[in-house]
Amino acid sequence: MHWYVDVLKKYAVFNGRARRAEYWMFTLISLIVSLVIFGIDMALGIWVLEAVYSLAVLIPGIAVSVRRLHDTDRSGWWLLLFLIPLIGMIILIVWLAQDSKPANRYGPSPKAATAAPAW
């Protein structure tokens, strides 16, 4: 759950890098919350809660995606590939699932900063 909260704390931080775990855990928890809210909306017969939640996590979702692309040494502008149906989404999923690159122009590897000592 801390991955989700950490992304929300960095609400509109588009610089830096994000590990795979940070991105994918935010995506998973956001999907689960969205499904629960959708179920509540259906039970109540309203559609406002899902729309409000989607708008609330839109900017943090884009920001963590940009930071994740930075971690793979790609510009955040590559996120616009989602505008290309199917092919763009497949390319983005592959890139977002790739391992971190060592220190690059976006900063040091966040994976190296949290790695345990090798003694």
The model's pTM is 0.86
Q: What is the C-alpha to C-alpha distance for residues 24 and 39, in angstroms, rounded to an integer?
A: 23
Torsions phi, psi of 101, nearest 5? -90, 155
> Tell me, what's the pLDDT at 118?
52
pLDDT of residue 109: 83
Block mean pLDDT (10 aa), the chain, length 119: 87 91 94 96 92 96 95 94 95 94 85 60
Determine the length of the chain: 119
d(CA 88, CA 82): 5
Per-residue confidence (pLDDT) for residue 2, from 0 to 100: 83
